[in-house]
Structure 1
Amino acid sequence: MKFAFIAVIFGISLAWGDVSTRHTNLKCEFPDKTYLQILVCRLKVLGRGIIGANVHLKALNLPIRKVQINYSVWRKLSGYHPFLFNVTVDLCHYMQHPNPLTVFYYFYGAMLPFINVNHTCPFNHDIILKNFVLDNKMFNRVPIPKGSYMFMIKISSEGVWRGTIYDYLDVNVDDAPSIKSG
């Protein structure tokens, strides 16, 4: 049964063609200014059709010993509605014991080359995400319908929800396969 499901998903992903993605907006909301300060939260054009997300959060109460991340995907239909998953991860535990069988593993793996949160707790520094570009290969593994999506990332530390990062993006699936010269 499991093999049949995987075969269907793989067949659908092959039939869908190439996937193109791009950031459309980025918002950061951290109401407690005594704990975290937003220095940068914006998109930056890095080249023709290449948009990078940049976030710099200055931590004011160091060290940070406990961090939880709630990561959810929302699809725009008539407003944004929950889509696919809503996962909460204890980041400190995950950094000590990464599990490749979780959705967060792919999410974190995509951001790893662009973020300075690459070690176990405690965190004694600012959180910096620099020029995070969506790689089209990220969405070839999971066939999703074309449209507008929002990744909502809620951050909790020391047991208190500190803020939310909203990353808006478009996913377009090209119907015609691309011609690649060898």
Structure 2
Amino acid sequence: MNPKLGIIKQCIIKAYNREIKELHFYMTLLQKPVSNVTIHVDIKRRFRSTFATFEIDACQFFRSTRRNPIANAVYSFFHLQVYSNINHTCPYDHDVVVDSLRIADHINLPVPLGLGEYEIKTYWYVLKKLSVIINVNFMISE
């Protein structure tokens, strides 16, 4: 993460019970307001080539009802409009909070994916400068 953009004060995954985990995330923005955010996303099966890649103008994403279908599915699936304060258009002039986002072991995905290991890499650009990289790895099994 670009230290000039912000400071991550909390990033914890807590076990709520055996099957459900909760994500708690808090980032203090040092450069406010943030008004130009682009997210580049690569989705691939582990150790294979990328099968989906796209870019999202995060500010436009909330302004429009014609959203990228994959990005909209992920946003809706995790209920980020409920568990986070990143649920409005730019500018962002406040800290970024994700509170008690629940992640269950057994989930119904909004897109069809086969069994195997997957990797989602996101590159967050603020004012056209790479500022944050977030990688998520998960496995789909029977």
TM over 0.5: yes
2:138 matched residue in structure 1: 169
For residue 134 of structure 1, report the CA deviation from its aligned partner. 3.7
| Alignment check: 8 A CA contact 2:56 2:68 kept | no
User: CA–CA distance in 1 between the matches of 2:5 and 2:32?
Assistant: 9
Paired residues, what number? 138
For residue 101 of structure 1, report the CA deviation from its aligned partner. 5.7
| Alignment check: 8 A CA contact 1:41 1:56 kept | yes
Gaps of 5+ in 2: none
| Identity fraction in percent | 20
| Alignment check: 8 A CA contact 1:72 1:82 kept | no
2:83 matched residue in structure 1: 114
Q: Residue by residue, what CA displacement relative to the aligned partner does 1:55-111 show, whole Å, maximum 9, x if unpaired?
A: 3221101010111112222322xx4x3443111100111111032562111111123
**Alignment TM-score, normalising by the size of structure 1:** 0.68
For residue 154 of structure 1, report the CA deviation from its aligned partner. 1.4
Q: SS of the counterpart of 2:16? A: strand
- Which 4+ stretches in 1 moved above 4 angstroms? none
1:86 aligns with 2:53: yes
Gaps of 5+ in 1: 1-29, 174-182
2:100 matched residue in structure 1: 131
1:8 matched residue in structure 2: none
Higher relative contact order (CA 8 A, sep 6+): 1
1:97 matched residue in structure 2: 64
Letter aligned with residue 119 of structure 2? M
User: CA–CA distance in 2 between the matches of 1:83 and 1:172?
Assistant: 20
**Alignment TM-score, normalising by the size of structure 2:** 0.84
**Structure 1 residues 75, 131: CA separation in 2 closer, same or farther (over 3 Å shift)?**
farther
| Alignment check: 8 A CA contact 1:69 1:89 kept | yes
